[in-house]
C-alpha cells in the first residue's frame, strides 16, 4: 500500500508517498523511545512553550494547512479552516491546563499519608482516520505530549499531505526529534509496531473492523488501548421541539463534513405528531444545498473523501433498498466528476434490513417515525453503536430524561455541538471505549501511581 493524495472533487492524483522500510521504522521507534527518556523529564512549562508555539503556527498559517485537508480528502475549505483553528485551540488548551489536570491527588488513609501521582506511560502508538485529519492529530498531540508521553502516529493512507505537515509543525515549534513521529506504514508494519516492546499503549480512531484487529493485537501484548470507533447516532425530535432550531441542526448533523463524522446524526427519530412537517422541512433544506468545488466558498455540499468511499456508500443504499427501504430523495451519485453523493433520505428501514444496524458514512439519513417518547428512546437504543445522540424538545425535563435514557457516551439537548477541547469525547458498545479530550482524555495514558508514606511496624 502507498500513501496517496487524490483530490476527490476531481479524481486527480496529486502526490504519492512510498511506505517507509522496516529499517526506517526501526530507526523511528528507537528515536521515539530515546526522545521519551528526555521528554518525560521536561517540565510542563517547557513542554507548554512548544505546544503553544505549534498552536500559534497553526493559527498563523490556517489557509495553508486548510488547503492540504481539502486537497487530500475533499473537506469544504471553510470547514477545513474551522478544523485547523479548532485544532490550534486544542493544543493551546492542553498547553495551559495539563499540569492542573494531572496534579497529584491527595488521599486520606487511616494510617500515614498517601497520594496518587501521574507519570507518562512511554511511546504511544496512535492510528488515526482521515475525516478530521488535523483535529484527530491535535486530539492526541495536545494532551498526550503535554502529559510527557511521546507519540508515533499512523495516519490514514489518503491524507499524507496533512500527516506530514502536522509532524513538520511540531518540529518547527521546537519539539525534539522523536517526540511526534509520523509513520507512513502498512497494516502489517502497524501490527509489528503494536508488538514492539518500546510501545507502551495504543489508541485508534477508526472503523469497528480496525478496532477489532488493533485492540486484539494490543490485548495479546497486554497493552492499554482506547478505541474511538463508529456510530449511528440518533437525532430525536419530540413533538414540542422548536423546528426552526431543529431543522438547521438536522442538516448540519447529517451534512457537516459531507456526512463523514463518527458522531453525525444518522438516524432521525421523530414523533408521529410532528413527523410529516419535520420530513418536509428537512428535505427542503437538504435540497437547497449547493454542490460544488470544495475550494469554492459558495459550495455547501462537497464530495466524499474518495471514490472508494462513494462506491461503498452507494452499495449500502442499494442493499437498504433491496431489503425494503424507500428512497424519499437522492440515493445516487451526482452527475458530475468527482466523488459526489446526493443528499439522501431513506424511510421504511425495517429491523430486519441490514441498513438498520449499519453506519452510513456520508450524506444518507435514515428517517423513522415513532408514536411517543418511550418508543423514540427504545429505537435509539436498538443499535450496536453507542457514541452520541441528541434530543430536541422545549421541555428541559424531558430533554434530560431522554438524554439519561439513551445508552451512549454523549448526549446533546437542543444542539449537537459535539466537541470542545475540555469535553471528554467517546462512546460505549461497538463505538469503543476510553475517552479523548477533557480531563478524562489526558488521564487515559498516564500511570496514576499510589505513593503511601507510613512509618509503623510490620504486622506480626
Ligand atoms: P478505518 O478504515 O478504520 O481507518 C482508520 C485508520 O485505521 C486509518 O489510519 C487506517 O489506515 C487504519 N487502519 C485500518 N485498519 C487497520 C489495520 N488492520 N491495521 C492498522 N491500521 C489500520 O476507518 P475509515 O473508514 O477510514 O474512517 C471512518 C471510520 O472511523 C468510521 O467508522 C467513523 O465512525 C470512525 N471514526 C470514529 C471517530 C470517533 O471518535 N469515534 C472519529 C472519526 C472517525 P489506512 O488508511 O492505511 O487503511
Centre of ligand 1 from the C-alpha of residue 225, in Å: 15
- What pTM, to 2 d.p., does this model score? 0.97
Burial of 85 (0-12, 13-18, 19+ CB in 10 A): middle
Count of beta carbons in the 10 Å neighbourhood of residue 158: 23
What is the three-class DSSP state of 70?
helix
Q: Which ligand 1 atom sits nearest the alpha carbon of residue 206?
A: 30
Is 203's C-beta closer than 6 angstroms to any atom of ligand 1? no
CA atoms of 14 and 38, how far apart (whole Å): 38
Is 129's C-beta closer than 6 angstroms to any atom of ligand 1? yes
| Cβ-contact 256, 83 below 8 angstroms | no
Is 133's C-beta closer than 6 angstroms to any atom of ligand 1? no
Instruction: Give residue 203's pLDDT.
Output: 98
CA atoms of 296 and 77, how far apart (whole Å): 7
For every residue of 148-207, DSSP letters joined together read T-EEEEE--TT-HHHHHHHHHHHHHTTPPTTSEEE----HHHHHHHHH-TTEEEEEEES-
Is 230's C-beta closer than 6 angstroms to any atom of ligand 1? yes
Is 45 labeled as catalytic in the residue annotation?
Answer: no
Centre of ligand 1 from the C-alpha of residue 285, in Å: 30
Exposure class string for 36-65: b at 16+ Cβ within 10 A, else e: beebeeeebeebbebbbbbbebbbebbeeb
CA atoms of 410 and 429, how far apart (whole Å): 12
Is 228 labeled as catalytic in the residue annotation?
Answer: yes
Is 231's C-beta closer than 6 angstroms to any atom of ligand 1? yes
Instruction: Give residue 2's pLDDT.
Output: 81
Tell which residue, 377, 362, 298, 378, has the closest CA to residue 330: 362
How far lies 1's CA from each of 5, 19, 103, in Å? 13, 7, 43
Is 213's C-beta closer than 6 angstroms to any atom of ligand 1? yes
| Structural domains of the chain sorted by starting position, each given as residue range(s) with its CATH number in brackets | 3-229+431-451 (3.40.605.10), 233-413 (3.40.309.10)
pLDDT in tens, the chain (460 residues): 689 999 999 999 999 999 999 999 999 999 999 999 999 999 999 999 999 999 999 999 999 999 999 999 999 999 999 999 999 999 999 999 999 999 999 999 999 999 999 999 999 999 999 999 999 999 999 999 999 999 999 999 999 999 999 999 999 999 999 999 999 999 999 999 999 999 999 999 999 999 999 999 999 999 999 999 999 999 999 999 999 999 999 999 999 999 999 999 999 999 999 999 999 999 999 999 999 999 999 999 999 999 999 999 999 999 999 999 999 999 999 999 999 999 999 999 999 999 999 999 999 999 999 999 999 999 999 999 999 999 999 999 999 999 999 999 999 999 999 999 999 999 999 999 999 999 999 999 999 999 999 999 999 8
Centre of ligand 1 from the C-alpha of residue 296, in Å: 28
Centre of ligand 1 from the C-alpha of residue 241, in Å: 35
Is 127's C-beta closer than 6 angstroms to any atom of ligand 1? yes
Question: Which H helix or E strand runs over 447?
Answer: strand 446-453
Q: Which residue has the cell 498531540?
A: 141
Centre of ligand 1 from the C-alpha of residue 157, in Å: 10
Select which of 262, 373, 436, 444 is catalytic: 262
CA atoms of 109 and 152, how far apart (whole Å): 39
How far lies 352's CA from each of 361, 398, 407, in Å? 20, 30, 21
Amino acid at each position: 500500500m502507498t500513501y496517496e493524495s487524490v483530490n476527490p472533487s476531481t479524481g486527480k492524483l496529486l502526490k504519492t508517498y512510498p511506505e517507509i522500510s522496516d529499517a526506517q521504522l526501526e530507526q523511528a521507534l528507537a528515536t521515539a523511545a530515546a526522545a521519551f527518556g528526555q521528554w518525560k523529564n521536561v517540565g510542563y512549562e517547557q513542554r507548554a512553550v512548544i505546544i503553544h508555539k505549534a498552536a500559534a503556527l497553526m493559527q498563523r498559517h490556517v489557509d495553508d494547512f486548510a488547503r492540504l485537508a481539502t486537497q487530500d480528502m475533499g473537506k469544504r475549505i471553510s470547514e477545513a479552516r474551522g478544523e485547523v483553528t479548532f485544532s490550534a485551540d486544542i493544543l493551546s488548551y492542553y498547553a495551559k491546563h495539563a499540569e492542573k489536570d494531572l496534579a497529584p491527588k491527595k488521599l486520606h488513609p487511616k494510617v500515614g499519608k498517601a497520594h496518587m501521582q501521574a507519570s507518562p506511560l512511554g511511546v504511544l502508538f496512535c492510528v488515526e482516520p482521515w475525516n478530521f485529519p488535523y483535529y484527530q492529530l491535535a486530539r492526541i498531540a495536545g494532551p498526550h505530549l503535554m502529559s510527557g508521553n511521546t507519540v508515533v502516529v499512523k495516519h490514514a493512507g489518503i491524507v499524507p499531505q496533512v500527516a506530514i505537515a502536522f509532524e513538520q509543525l511540531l518540529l518547527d515549534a521546537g519539539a525534539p526529534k522523536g517526540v511526534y513521529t509520523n509513520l507512513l506504514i502498512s497494516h502489517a508494519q502497524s501490527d509489528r509496531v503494536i508488538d514492539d516492546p518500546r510501545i507502551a499503549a495504543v489508541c485508534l480512531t477508526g472503523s469497528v473492523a480496525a478496532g477489532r484487529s488493533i485492540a486484539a493485537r494490543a490485548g495479546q501484548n497486554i497493552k492499554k488501548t482506547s478505541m474511538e470507533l463508529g456510530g449511528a447516532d440518533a437525532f430525536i425530535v419530540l413533538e414540542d421541539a422548536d423546528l426552526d432550531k431543529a431543522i438547521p441542526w438536522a442538516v448540519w448533523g447529517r451534512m457537516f463534513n459531507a456526512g463523514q463524522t463518527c458522531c453525525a446524526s444518522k438516524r432521525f427519530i421523530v414523533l408521529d405528531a410532528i413527523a410529516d412537517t419535520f420530513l418536509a422541512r428537512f428535505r427542503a433544506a437538504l435540497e437547497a444545498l449547493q454542490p460544488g468545488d470544495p475550494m469554492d466558498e459558495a459550495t455547501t455540499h462537497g464530495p466524499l473523501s474518495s471514490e472508494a468511499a462513494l462506491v461503498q456508500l452507494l452499495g449500502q443504499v442499494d442493499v437498504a433498498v433491496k431489503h425494503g427501504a424507500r428512497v424519499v430523495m437522492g440515493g445516487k451519485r451526482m452527475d458530475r466528476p468527482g466523488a459526489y453523493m446526493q443528499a439522501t433520505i431513506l424511510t421504511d428501514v425495517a429491523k430486519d434490513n441490514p441498513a438498520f444496524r449499519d453506519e452510513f458514512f456520508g450524506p444518507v439519513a435514515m428517517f423513522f417515525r415513532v408514536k411517543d417518547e418511550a418508543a423514540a428512546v427504545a429505537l435509539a437504543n436498538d443499535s450496536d453503536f453507542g457514541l452520541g445522540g441528541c434530543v430536541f424538545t422545549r421541555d428541559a425535563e424531558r430533554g434530560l430524561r431522554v438524554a439519561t435514557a439513551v445508552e451512549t457516551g454523549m448526549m446533546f439537548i437542543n444542539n449537537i455541538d459535539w466537541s470542545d477541547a475540555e469535553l471528554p469525547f467517546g462512546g460505549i458498545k461497538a463505538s469503543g471505549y476510553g475517552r479523548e479530550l477533557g480531563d478524562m482524555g489526558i488521564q487515559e495514558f498516564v500511570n496514576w501511581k499510589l505513593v503511601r508514606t507510613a512509618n509503623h511496624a510490620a504486622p506480626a
